[in-house]
Amino acid sequence: MIVRLRSRDGLERIEVDGNANLAALKLAIQEKLGVPVAEQQLSKNPALLTTKDPSSINDLQADGAGLAQLGVQHGDMVFLLYGFEREVAPVVKKADWEKRPFGAHMDVARMVSLQTRIERQDAPHAASASFDFGAANAFQSYVASALAFSIKRGGILYGTVDEETHEVFVNAIYEPPQSGNADSLQLERGTEEEAAADLIAAHLGWRKVGWIWAQSTKEREFIMSSEEVCQCAAVQDEMGEHAVTAVVATWPGEDGQPEVHFEVFQVSDQCVRLWKEGWFQQQGEPGGTSTLRNPKEPRDQAPVIVAGKDQGELDNDYFLVPVAVKDHEGPLENKFPVENRLLPQGAPELKAHLQQRRAAPYWARLADFHLLLYLARQPNFDEPEVSVLVDAVHNKAAVPEGFQIIIDSMAGL
């Protein structure tokens, strides 16, 4: 049987007997690929290649168990982690520039223009990403319960960045109008609603600090597709070098029951630059590799140099830089129904929200990002009125009585 092996250094294939056990596979890897058995960690979970705690992934540990017993079939992808760097010889189709007749003129400038060296980035710009527990839970609960992870769902992260420690604090997740399926997601950007979210965030001392998306349950053998890597690069280019990407996914746990996983990444600075320069090529089918082509030579399949080898395609994992995940309690609630969902958001929900907090000061009753955004979309509240409301919430100050009367009337109180 053929087993495909994905490591941080590339994709390889190895052949073992159909009745082989895990120990036999490890021995074949040692003999044919030069990775000592003691250095190997294997898993069917792609997170093995990016997690900061590889010991937490232990699905392929029983050396005496048969590969079939462990769920490894002919042609399956197995992820291989080891603690050193190797050069993996790629299988690459001959590029157009290689097909030119011998002796065709190519000066040094042209040779340089056709190549770029892809380097791994060891450390992210964001030291960590801490999520308000209520905001994170509201997002992942919705995609798990209402959508059952059947399609992709996304949102924009608002919060702060500590300029000294470079820690990112996410206090709210805005979910814009969007279209998604199992493979692809497009957020509707630049709307009046997003401008209102920006206004609210600015008066709270927040800004955009990244984005979040939930994977569908469609089987995939990679962490991010080319589309997703390009979207991450676009977000970092737009929001700054500390902007993060949060990925929510569900995988079977040890007991076979689904478990929700929350991971955060950045893409490398070089990835952002290559995206801005137009190196990434559109691909029909989603996959775990990206085709890179020099935009100055669109007819040529320009090789990139990875670990000293010319390659026409590159594993997307090469661009990913994991970020530590934390949680905290933010300054506002995230309990009011979230915008642009299948769930209702209107006067009955406003009434229930206010009544549940009737004993609190009025500013505290309004201290919810999604409630403030709901009010900002109502006819009675233009930018000056919204600014007054948000400033009252931010400063924990009295809300003008006229505003209280208007909001209570909207809620039917």
Cα separation, 118 vs 189, in Å, equals: 31
Domains along the sequence of the chain with CATH: 2-81 (3.10.20.90), 128-328 (3.40.140.10), 347-411 (no CATH)
Which residue from 273, 278, 319, 318 is spatially nearest to 297, judged by alpha carbons? 278
More confident residue, 246 or 226: 246
Of all residues in the chain, what percent carry a pLDDT higher than 90?
52
**pLDDT value of residue 186:** 92
DSSP single-letter state for residue 400: P
* Residue 343 pLDDT > 70: yes
Of all residues in the chain, what percent carry a pLDDT higher than 70?
83
Task: Give the mean pLDDT of 20-45.
Answer: 91
DSSP assignments along 203-224, one per residue? HHT-EEEEEEEE--SS--SSS-
Cα separation, 1 vs 78, in Å, equals: 13
DSSP helix/strand/coil, 166: coil
* Residue 288 pLDDT > 70: no
Q: Are 263 and 50 in contact (CB under 8 A)?
A: yes
pLDDT, tens digit, 9 for 90 and up, residues 367-394:
999 999 999 999 889 999 999 999 999 9
Cα separation, 55 vs 41, in Å, equals: 9
User: Range with the lowest mean pLDDT among 8-17, 177-186, 194-203?
Assistant: 8-17
**pLDDT value of residue 317:** 81
β-bridge pairing 116-118 and 304-306: parallel
Which residue from 324, 323, 321, 325 is spatially nearest to 8, judged by alpha carbons? 321
Which residue from 335, 382, 378, 379 is spatially nearest to 357, judged by alpha carbons? 335
pLDDT, tens digit, 9 for 90 and up, residues 170-186:
999 999 999 989 888 99
User: Range with the lowest mean pLDDT among 141-155, 174-188, 213-227, 263-277?
Assistant: 213-227
The pLDDT mean for the chain works out to 84
How many Cβ atoms sit within 10 Å of the Cβ of residue 105? 6
* Residue 214 pLDDT > 60: yes
**pLDDT value of residue 14:** 86
* Residue 103 pLDDT > 90: no
Kindly indicate the confidence band of residue 50, based on its pLDDT and cuts at 50, 70 and 90: confident
Q: Are 79 and 50 in contact (CB under 8 A)?
A: no
Identity at 300, one-letter amino acid code: D
Q: Is 259 exposed, middle or buried (0-12, 13-18, 19+ CB in 10 A)?
A: exposed
Structure tokens at 327: 């949680």
β-bridge pairing 153-161 and 167-174: antiparallel
**pLDDT value of residue 284:** 47
**pLDDT value of residue 226:** 83
β-bridge pairing 185-187 and 178-180: antiparallel
Q: What is the pTM of this model?
A: 0.72
